[in-house]
Amino acid sequence: MREGSAHILIADDELSMRELLEYMLRREGYQVTCAESGRKAVALVEQGSYDLLLCDMRLGDISGLEVLRACKKQQPNTVVIMISAFASTETAVQAMNESAYDYVPKPFNKDELLETVAKAIKLKTVEHEKELLDGELRRSLNFDMLVGTSPAMQHIFKMVRQVSRTKTNVLITGESGTGKELIARAIHKESDRKNQPFVAINCGGIPESLMESELFGHRKGAFTGATQDKPGLFQDAHRGTIFLDEIGELGMPIQVKLLRAVQEKTIRPVGGNEDMAVDIRIVSATNKNLEKEVIAGKFREDLFYRLNVIEIKVPPLRERKADLRALAQHFLDKYSHEMGKEISKLSSYALDMMLKYDFPGNVRELENLMERSVALSTTNIILPDSLALSVHKRRWIEGIKDRRFDLDEVARGVSLDTIMEEIERAYLKKALDCSHGSKSQRGFLAKITDLAGKSIDIF
């Protein structure tokens, strides 16, 4: 979709305003349709498709908010900009919570309005292209659970496609919660072993005394309680893929026996006298720096090089924020379906709040957040109030934590603009709280913002 060919619907009960907006937008190359009432706008939305709705807050028959809701119900991807000569903070916040892209007060500056429209159309175009790219990648690679269109994820998709065609051992590295097992499963699913077992083992979740028996099995009488022969997980994975998660948690004794299994592709059950051949593909994962573990003498160097033939590094969520919207929507759809709720999307305010948070628990934390938010939500859209963030996370996001001047931040890397924005936002919000939201105080704060030459979102 070219930005200049976007189709815009204008809903305004004032003829002169409709004509002015139509003239301005047509001159910019947009297709324009006009509605003289709220009900007419709703009817047009039900009949056709529009890229953007420019809607007056006060219409002759029904309110602009009702038109906004109807539009989002019929066409969720339509971008909506509300305009009104009777602007108030309450209606502006309500419109934004109902997923309006922006709120423009009358009288408006022509150039500013056109710029807002252009940005909204560009955003829709970029999101549409991302959706197409994401769909194309996932169709070509058949990854049902891996979500993301960021350059980092595209690189991982290509790596998965390449290594899945080989029998080479793969080491997946990354912080906890980044989705390392999903990548391992994708490698298996894309390989010629896809119809054979995929066996996942959490190396940190099995006591060291039981690890050898779990991996390689045991013979009857091998130890107290071994009343019969038991195959190990390596045997269960025969002809398939074995996934050794948190491989860095293995103790040195079991590392020696694992090395032999990796090198020789043979195992010997505990208490057994003969070796058994196994045909397996080994994929490992760790949240540790195994090279440092080797230097520290905690991980065998020869085993490290056997497992780390090809390394796939998974970035933390904070380094691929471009994927956050798609991931959040993925989990929103998943848990809405599981809980029998009709929750269609995140509000722009809720998404903005999430984008300001670094998610130290990565994708796993995001999934947990969306599951709780869906469970607690009483509307068909996730609003900031229904976003189940704890108090300390909200304070962190909103930049109202008790900041102290810390010159050591310079060594770690610091953005002066970020610090100044946090301070300004905190002072403005505090002044607003003290005024109990009075319009006069808001007007005063708006003047301060204009004088500072910045647009600070304090709501």
Stretch 420-449: mean pLDDT: 55
434-444: average pLDDT: 50
Of 18, 5, 3, nearest in space to 83 by CA: 18
> In one letter, which amino acid is 411?
A
pLDDT of residue 217: 86
pLDDT in tens, 441-450: 444 445 444 4
**Is beta strand 79-84 parallel, antiparallel or unpaired with respect to 102-105?**
parallel
Q: How far is CA 337 from the centre of its chain?
A: 18
Average pLDDT, the chain: 80
Asked if pLDDT for residue 42 goes beyond 50, the answer is yes
Q: Is the pLDDT of residue 149 over 70?
A: yes
CB 350 within 8 A of CB 377: no
Backbone angles phi, psi at 107, to 5 degrees: -75, 145
The predicted-structure confidence for 365-413, as pLDDT tens digits, reads as follows 999 999 999 998 887 888 877 776 765 566 566 654 444 444 454 444 5
Report the distance separating Cα 194 and Cα 184, nearest Å: 12
Residue 459 has pLDDT above 50, yes or no: no
**pLDDT score of 403:** 46
Please report the pLDDT score of residue 9 as a whole number: 93
Q: Is 133 helix (H, G, I), strand (E, B) or coil?
A: helix
Q: Helix 348-355 and helix 89-97: axis angle, to 10°?
A: 80
Structure tokens at 117: 């429209």
Task: Quick: pLDDT tens for 60-101.
Answer: 788 888 898 888 888 888 888 888 776 555 566 667 666 788
Query: Between 58 and 279, whose confidence is greater?
Result: 279
Predicted local distance difference test score (pLDDT) of residue 86: 63
Q: What kind and span of H or E run contains 56?
A: strand 52-56
Q: How far apart are CA 231 and CA 224, in angstroms?
A: 17
d(Cα 445, Cα 459) in Å, to the nearest integer? 12
CA 154 to chain centre: 15
Residue 198 is predicted with a pLDDT of 95
Residue 31 has pLDDT above 60, yes or no: yes
State pLDDT tens for residues 152-195. 888 898 899 889 888 899 999 999 999 999 999 999 998 999 99
pLDDT on residue 435: 55
Note whether 107 and 14 are within 8 A (CB).
no
| pLDDT in the model for residue 401 | 44
- Among 4-8, 206-210, 285-289, 405-409, the range scoring the smallest mean pLDDT is 405-409
Contact status, residue 67 vs residue 94, Cβ threshold 8 Å: no
Is the pLDDT reported for residue 245 higher than 80? yes
Q: State the pLDDT at residue 72.
A: 84
DSSP-H helix ranges across 177-286: 180-190, 208-216, 233-236, 252-264
389: helix, strand or coil = coil
Residue with tokens 């065609």: 165
State the Cα angle at 396 between 390 and 402, rounded to 5°: 120
pLDDT at 458: 38
Structure tokens, 36: 């003289």
Q: What is the pTM of this model?
A: 0.60
- Identify the pLDDT of residue 270: 86
Sheet with strand 241-245: strands edge to edge: 198-202, 241-245, 281-286, 170-173, 310-313
| Whether residue 4 has pLDDT greater than 90 | no
Q: How far apart are CA 317 and CA 360, in angstroms?
A: 8
With 0-12 / 13-18 / 19 or more C-beta atoms within 10 angstroms meaning exposed / middle / buried, residue 427 is: middle
Residue positions counted in the chain: 459
Of 149-153, 196-200, 330-334, give the lowest mean pLDDT range: 149-153
State residue 336 phi and psi, 5-degree precision: -65, -40
The band of 124, judged by pLDDT with boundaries at 50, 70 and 90, is confident
The DSSP secondary structure of 265-300, one letter per residue, reads SEE--BT-SS-EE---EEEEEESS-HHHHHHTTSS-
Question: Among 220-224, 355-359, 396-400, where is mean pLDDT lowest?
Answer: 396-400
- Both tokens of 209, joined, read 């005394």
Give the residue among 262, 276, 242 at the shortest CA–CA distance from 306.
262
pLDDT at 395: 59
